[in-house]
Amino acid sequence: MTDQPKQLGGGRKMFGDFAPKLAELTDDVLFEDVWNRPELSARDRSLITVAVLTAGGNTAQLGFHLGRAIENGVTQEELIEAITHVTLYAGWPQGMSAMGVAKQLFTDNK
């Protein structure tokens, strides 16, 4: 799984001047370390992240991670199916909200 693109965070760009420690942890721990560990592919990590964000109702972060999932090789159809699947386990409101984010992202980019 080492022939995948290196995953980079944007914490310093977003919050470096406002919340430097959060930016550092985002870039150096979450992305530099965790996202680039070889035990799971970036594609698998993206699917897991989308599922967890959907289940938790964290739609503010979902748009970014849906885009990252596409960059990491997950198809639009797979993401729609993953959100549908999670909806039946995590709750209808979370799934419907997540699908709304996905629909907006996928239809605005066509």
pLDDT digits (tens, 9 = 90+) for 50-72: 999 999 999 999 999 999 999 99
Q: Where in the chain are the domains?
A: 1-39, 41-110
Residues 6+ apart with CB under 8 A from 28: none
CATH fold of 41-110: AhpD-like (1.20.1290)
Residues 10, 57: Cα–Cα separation, whole Å: 22
Residues 77, 24: Cα–Cα separation, whole Å: 34
**Distances 24 to 21, 58, 88 between C-alpha atoms, Å:** 5, 22, 36
pLDDT value at residue 1: 47
For 73-90, the pLDDT digits (tens) are 999 999 999 999 999 999
pLDDT over 70 (residue 35): yes
pLDDT over 70 (residue 10): yes
